Chain A
Amino acid sequence: MSAAWEVIIGLEIHAQLATASKIFSGASTAYGSEPNTQACLIDLGYPGVLPVLNREAVRMACKFGLAVNATVARRSVFARKNYFYPDLPKGYQISQYELPIVEHGELFITDGGEANGEPRRIGITRAHLEEDAGKSIHSIHEGLDRFSGIDLNRAGTPLLEIVSEPDLRSAREAVAYMRKIHSIVRYLGISDGNMQEGSFRCDANVSVRPRGQRELGTRTELKNLNSFRFVEKAINFEIERQIDVLEDGGDIVQETRLYDSDRNQTRPMRSKEEANDYRYFPDPDLLPVVIDDAYVEAVRATLPELPDAKRERFVAEYRLRNEDAGILTMSLALADYFEAATAAAAAKPGLVANWVIGELSAALNRDGIDIEASRVPPAGLAALVDRIADSTISGKIAKEVFDAMWAGEGSADQIIEAKGLRQITDAAELEGVVDAVIAQNPSQAAEYRAGKDKLIGYFVGQVMKATGGKANPAQVNALLKNKLTGGELSDGGGS
C-alpha cells in the first residue's frame, strides 16, 4: 500500500443476540430448522399483529454497552425503517435510529500493527437493537426455477448493530477490532458469534485520502463480509481499487459494493442515487424503552471479567508474556482451559501456556474442534507438562506423547511407560553412550578440542540419536563437555 495514502475504515457489526425467542415475538430463534417453521404470525407480519419487545434483548444490549464503557441510554426508541423486499414481511424493519440504547463506547486493540504494539483506542459510535429480516433463496431447487424462495425463520431474530467510529486505519486493524468485539460478545454470553451461521457479520465503510489531507475521501460500503479473512481481503482489495482509481485521476463513487470471495473482488451493488429513502419514524406500536440506574447497576453486577482485564491478570498472576496472555484471553473457553490446566499442573504457567498456544491449538485447528471438545482435557495436558518439568521426558518426546494422547492412547504417564519414553538420567548409562559417541568420532573430537566449540551440538545430536531422544539433554551436555575437554584424553597424544 502506498505511503502517500491514508486509509479510513469504520465497521458496522451485526451480532445476533442469543435470546431463546425473537425480539418481538415468542417464536424460537434456533438455527437450521425447516424453512418457515419458526415464523409465527408476528414474524410473518400478518394483518393486526403487534410487536412486543423481548426483555432479554434489552438486557444483553445493556450488558454490551457497559462492557465497552459506553453510555447506556435511559430512554431509547424503536423506529421503523421502511423499504420493500420480499424477505422483509412488514415492509419495514424495526430498528433504533435517533435514540439507540448504547452510545459513545470504546475499546482498545493492540495487534493491529499500526501502533507498534501500543493499545489503540477505537471509538464505538453506537450499538442499537433491531430485528433481522428473513432470507431470500435464489438457488435453483426443484420447482424454484422461475421463483425465489423466502425463508422467514430468521425474520425477527434480535440483532445488536455495533457501529464503530471511522478510527480504523488498515484492514489488519479492522480485523483486530472485529475480533475484539467478537471476543467481548462471546465473553458476555450475548451472542454465539457463529460466522458460518451468520450470527456475526460485518459491513465495512472504506475510504482513502492523501496523507495529511483533513477532509475524508468518498467512501464505499462493503457488504457480505462473513469471515475475518474476508474482511481483511475485501478491505485490502477495496483500498487498492480506490487508490488505483484516484491515482488514475478518477473519482470514487459513493456506493454499496458486494464482496465476492470466490474472485476476491468487490463489485458495485447500488449507488447513492439508488439508495432507499427509509422514511424512519418512531414505531407507534412500541413504547420507548425506559430503564433506570438500578437496572443498569444490576446488569453491571453480572458482567464477567472481560478480555483486557483477564489479559492483564494473566500477565500479573501467571507471569505470562503480554502477547501470550492476549492469545489465551481472546476466547473465554481457551482462557478457562489454560487456567484449569495451570491449576492442575506443578509446572510453571508459562510452560502450560506454551503448550496450550502451541501443540494444543494446532491440534484443535487441524481437526476443526472447539476447545470445549478438546480430546486432551486440561488435567491431561497438565500431567504431560509436569513430566517435562520434572525431566521425565524432554520437550521433544512430549510432542510424541501429546500426539498419542490426542489419538486416545491414554494418559501421559501411561503412554510414557507403555512406549518406554522415560528420559535416561542414569549417569553411568549416559556416560557409556557419551564415551562411545566420542570414540566413534575422533576427528570431530579433535576439531572440538582445537576450539571448534559449536561441534558440541553435533555430539549432543549423536547421543540423542543413540538413545532414541530419551537422554536428558542437560546431563548429556555436561558430560560431553567434561569428557571432551577436562576429562581423560582418549588417545595417547602426549607428543
Chain B
Amino acid sequence: MTDAGSPLHTLTLTQIADGLSRGDFSSREVTRACLDRIAAHDPALNAFITVTADEALAAADAADAKRAGGDTGVMLGLPMAHKDIFCTRGVKTSCGSRMLDDFVAPYDATVVERLAGAGIVMLGKTNMDEFAMGSSNESSFYGPVRNPWDRERSPGGSSGGSSAAVAARLVPAATGTDTGGSIRQPAALTGTVGLKPTYGRVSRYGMIAFASSLDQAGVITRSVADAALLLGVMAGFDERDSTSIEQPVPDYAAGLGESIDGLKVGIVRQHFDAGLDAGCAGAVREALAVLESRGATLTEVDLPNLDLSVPTYYVVAPAECSSNLSRFDGVRFGHRAEDPADLFDLYCRSRAEGFGAEVKRRIMTGTYVLSAGYYDAYYLKAQQVRQLISDDFRQAFEHVDLIAGPTSPTPAFRLGDKTDDPVTMYLNDIYTIGANLAGLPGLSVPCGLVDGLPVGLHLVGPHFAEQSLLRCGHQYQLETDWHRRCPNDYR
C-alpha cells in the first residue's frame, strides 16, 4: 500500500485502520484532517447539523493513548459521523427538526454506544430530512444538503448529510437509517456505498423512530469493505430492542475475498420498465455484465406486486409515524409554544410550529389510515399487500441468491425539482422500498456516471444474507473503480 503519501482525508476507513496500526499517523491527525475538511467545505454543503470538534479530538487522544498502551482494536481511533437521528449523550440530537432543535439526548443509541465502545471517534451529527421523512434532504429544518457532484442537486435523503459528507471526503464513513431507501438512495446519488442490513440485525434503540417496522440502521462508506467492517460492530442482538434478532454476527470482512463464481443473481424485469432513466439502465446493465464476468449467473425473476410497494409503504410508514411522533407534544422535551392558552393550544401550536410540512403531511395521512372506518381499507389492506410483497421476494430467493438492479430511477435531481410534487418524490424510492417492506438487506454500490452524476447498483438478498451482498459488492469493486471517483471540487 502507498497510503502513507495520500492526504489523510482521502483514505477509506480500512486504509485509516491500516495506517493507525502501522503507526503512519495518529488518530488525532486523521481526526484533525477530517475536522479541517468539514470546516473548509461544509459551509457550502450543509452536511452537518453539529460538529463535535473538541469531543472528537479528546476521543482521538484517548484512542491514541490506548493504542500506545497496547490496544490493537481495529476500530480504535477511526473517525466517522452519525446521522442526527441517533441519540448521542450530551450532544444535540435534532432529527432534522425544529421540534428537537434544543434537544440534548441524555443517552447513547446502541449503535453509537457499540461503535464508541470499539474505539470510533465521532466527528459530529449529519443533516437529514426531518424525522427521516424525505428523499432529497430538503425537508430538514436546517436547510437542504448539497450534492458534492453538483451543488445545485440533492444528495438524496433522508441520510443526505451522511452521503454528501462521505462523497466529499469530509468523513470516511457515516451512519444512516433506511426506512424506504434512506441509506441506499443517497448513496447511489453521491457515488458512495450504502448498506441497509436485515430488519432486526442492528438495534433500533436510541434511533428516533419514524416507522418502527421498517426503520433499520446502516452505514454510508466509500468502499464495501468499510461497510463490512462497521456492520461487524453495529450488528447483534440488543435486549433493549425487542425486534432485534438473536443471531450470531459473522466476520463480514473475512468473507469478502471469496469468489462469486456460481452466484445466482436475479434480474427483475419490471426494474427496467419505462420509469428508469436510460443512462442509469445502461450503467446497471454494464455492472451486471461485470458480475457475470466474475462467474455470476443472471436469471430473470418476477416480483409481481412490485408496483404496489410505494402505495403500500405510504400507508404503513405514515400510520406508524403518526403514532411515533405523538410523543412530541411540548410537554416533556422538544419545542414548546410560548404562552399557551390551554392544553389544546399547547399541543396544537407546539406541533404546528415544531413540525415541517412533510412531517405534517405524513402524520395526517397516517392518522387518516388508522381512523375508525378506514383502518380495514387502508392499514389492514396495506399489511396484507406487504405480506404479498414479502412472499414475492421469498419465492424469488428460492431461485436466486440475490437480486440486482438500479437503486434509484434517475441520477441526482435538482434541488426544488420535486418539492411541489410529493408523489413524484415518493416514486424515487420505488426500487428500494420493497426491501424495507420485506425486512431484507440491501446494498447500493456506485456503478457509473451519467452526465457526471453517479449511478447506484442495488443488491438485495434474503434475510441475514449481508455476507453474500457484501462479498458480491466487494468483488464488483475489485473489478471497477466507480467507488474511487471523487467529485471534482473535493479531491
CB <8 Å contact, B100 and A47: yes
Tell which of A48, A84, A277 touches B205, judged by Cβ atoms closer than 8 Å: A48
CB <8 Å contact, B241 and A48: no
Decide if the interface of chain A is mainly helix, strand, loop or mixed. loop
**Which residues of B have CB within 8 Å of A84?**
326, 329, 347
**Which residues of A have CB within 8 Å of B241?**
50, 52
Stretch from A282-290, A341-349, A426-434 at the B interface: A282-290
Give the complex CA separation of A41 and B107 in angstroms.
9
Q: Beyond the given A48-B207, A50-B243, A91-B323, could you list 14 further A-B residue pairs with CB under 8 A, ordered by the A residue number? A: A45-B332, A46-B107, A47-B327, A47-B333, A48-B109, A50-B240, A50-B241, A52-B240, A89-B331, A91-B325, A91-B327, A284-B213, A284-B320, A286-B242
Give 1 or 0 for each of B364-381: 1 = CB within 8 Å of chain A CB. 000100111001000100
Binding site for A on B (CB under 8 A): 86-87, 93, 95, 100, 103, 105-107, 109, 204-209, 211-213, 239-243, 319-320, 322-323, 325-329, 331-334, 343, 347, 367, 370-372, 375, 379
Give A351 Cβ to nearest chain B Cβ, in Å: 57
Give A324 Cβ to nearest chain B Cβ, in Å: 50
Q: Is A82's beta carbon under 8 Å from chain B?
A: yes
**Which residues of B have CB within 8 Å of A53?**
242
Interface centre among A41, A90, A92, A279 (most CB of B within 10 A): A279
**Which residues of B have CB within 8 Å of A284?**
211-213, 243, 320
CB <8 Å contact, B243 and A91: no
- Supposing A80-B323, A82-B323, A84-B326 touch, asked if A47 and B87 sit within 8 A by C-beta, the answer is yes
CB <8 Å contact, A89 and B327: yes
- 30 A-B pairs in the complex with CB atoms less than 8 angstroms apart: A46-B327, A47-B95, A47-B209, A47-B327, A48-B107, A48-B109, A48-B206, A48-B208, A48-B209, A49-B206, A50-B240, A53-B242, A82-B323, A82-B326, A82-B370, A89-B327, A91-B327, A92-B326, A150-B331, A279-B322, A279-B367, A279-B370, A279-B371, A281-B319, A281-B320, A281-B323, A281-B370, A284-B320, A286-B243, A287-B243
CB <8 Å contact, A285 and B205: no
**Which residues of A have CB within 8 Å of B208?**
47-48
- Supposing A277-B372, A279-B367, A284-B213 touch, asked if A45 and B240 sit within 8 A by C-beta, the answer is no
Give the complex CA separation of A86 and B332 in angstroms.
9
Interface centre among A50, A82, A285, A287 (most CB of B within 10 A): A50
- Supposing A48-B209, A52-B242 touch, asked if A86 and B331 sit within 8 A by C-beta, the answer is yes
Q: Which 7 A-B pairs have the closest CB atoms?
A: A91-B326, A284-B213, A279-B370, A284-B212, A48-B206, A45-B327, A47-B208
Give A409 Cβ to nearest chain B Cβ, in Å: 58
Give 1 or 0 for each of A272-300: 1 = CB within 8 Å of chain B CB. 00000101110011110000000000000
**Which residues of B have CB within 8 Å of A92?**
323, 326
Interface centre among A45, A47, A51 (most CB of B within 10 A): A47
Tell which of A50, A280, A286 touches B204, judged by Cβ atoms closer than 8 Å: A50
Give the complex CA separation of A84 and B346 in angstroms.
11
CB <8 Å contact, B239 and A90: no
Give the complex CA separation of A50 and B323 in angstroms.
14
CB <8 Å contact, A86 and B206: no
Q: Who on chain A is nearest to B99 by CB?
A: A47
**Which residues of B have CB within 8 Å of A51?**
242
Q: Is A44's beta carbon under 8 Å from chain B?
A: yes
CB <8 Å contact, A41 and B106: yes
**Which residues of A have CB within 8 Å of B105?**
47-48
Binding site for B on A (CB under 8 A): 41, 44-53, 80, 82, 84, 86, 89-92, 150, 277, 279-281, 284-287
Q: Who on chain B is nearest to A285 by CB?
A: B212
Give B277 Cβ to nearest chain A Cβ, in Å: 34
Give the complex CA separation of A284 and B347 in angstroms.
25
**Which residues of B have CB within 8 Å of A41?**
106-107
CB <8 Å contact, B332 and A89: yes
Q: Who on chain A is nearest to B206 by CB?
A: A48
Give B402 Cβ to nearest chain A Cβ, in Å: 26
CB <8 Å contact, A281 and B375: yes
**Which residues of A have CB within 8 Å of B205?**
48-50
Give the complex CA separation of A280 and B319 in angstroms.
10
- Supposing A84-B326, A89-B327, A277-B371 touch, asked if A285 and B87 sit within 8 A by C-beta, the answer is no
Give the complex CA separation of A278 and B76 in angstroms.
49
Give A255 Cβ to nearest chain B Cβ, in Å: 18
CB <8 Å contact, A47 and B243: no
**Which residues of B have CB within 8 Å of A277?**
371-372
Q: Who on chain B is nearest to A86 by CB?
A: B331
Give the complex CA separation of A281 and B367 in angstroms.
11
CB <8 Å contact, B93 and A47: yes
Give the complex CA separation of A286 and B243 in angstroms.
7
Give B279 Cβ to nearest chain A Cβ, in Å: 38
Give A90 Cβ to nearest chain B Cβ, in Å: 5
Give the complex CA separation of A47 and B85 in angstroms.
9
**Which residues of A have CB within 8 Å of B242?**
50-53, 285-287
Tell which of A44, A47, A91, A287 touches B103, judged by Cβ atoms closer than 8 Å: A47
**Which residues of A have CB within 8 Å of B370?**
82, 279-281
Tell which of B87, B329, B375, B379 touches A48, judged by Cβ atoms closer than 8 Å: B87
Q: Who on chain A is nearest to B330 by CB?
A: A86
**Which residues of A have CB within 8 Å of B347?**
84
CB <8 Å contact, B239 and A52: yes
Q: Who on chain B is nearest to A152 by CB?
A: B332
Give A20 Cβ to nearest chain B Cβ, in Å: 17
Tell which of A46, A86, A279, A281 touches B333, judged by Cβ atoms closer than 8 Å: A46
**Which residues of B have CB within 8 Å of A286?**
242-243
Give the complex CA separation of A96 and B181 in angstroms.
32
Give the complex CA separation of A52 and B370 in angstroms.
24
Give the complex CA separation of A84 and B331 in angstroms.
11
Q: Who on chain B is nearest to A283 by CB?
A: B212
Give B387 Cβ to nearest chain A Cβ, in Å: 13
**Which residues of B have CB within 8 Å of A44?**
332
**Which residues of A have CB within 8 Å of B333?**
46-47
**Which residues of B have CB within 8 Å of A49?**
205-206
Give the complex CA separation of A281 and B320 in angstroms.
9
Give B268 Cβ to nearest chain A Cβ, in Å: 27
Give the complex CA separation of A53 and B319 in angstroms.
23
CB <8 Å contact, B93 and A46: no
**Which residues of A have CB within 8 Å of B93?**
47-48
Give the complex CA separation of A45 and B332 in angstroms.
9
Q: Who on chain A is nearest to B214 by CB?
A: A284
**Which residues of A have CB within 8 Å of B379?**
281
Interface centre among B95, B239, B332 (most CB of A within 10 A): B332
Give the complex CA separation of A91 and B107 in angstroms.
21
**Which residues of A have CB within 8 Å of B87?**
47-48
CB <8 Å contact, B329 and A91: yes
Give A96 Cβ to nearest chain B Cβ, in Å: 15
Give A42 Cβ to nearest chain B Cβ, in Å: 9
Give B213 Cβ to nearest chain A Cβ, in Å: 4
Tell which of A86, A91, A285, A287 touches B343, judged by Cβ atoms closer than 8 Å: A86
Give the complex CA separation of A44 and B328 in angstroms.
11
**Which residues of B have CB within 8 Å of A82?**
322-323, 326, 370
Give the complex CA separation of A279 and B379 in angstroms.
11
**Which residues of A have CB within 8 Å of B319?**
281
Give the complex CA separation of A53 and B332 in angstroms.
24
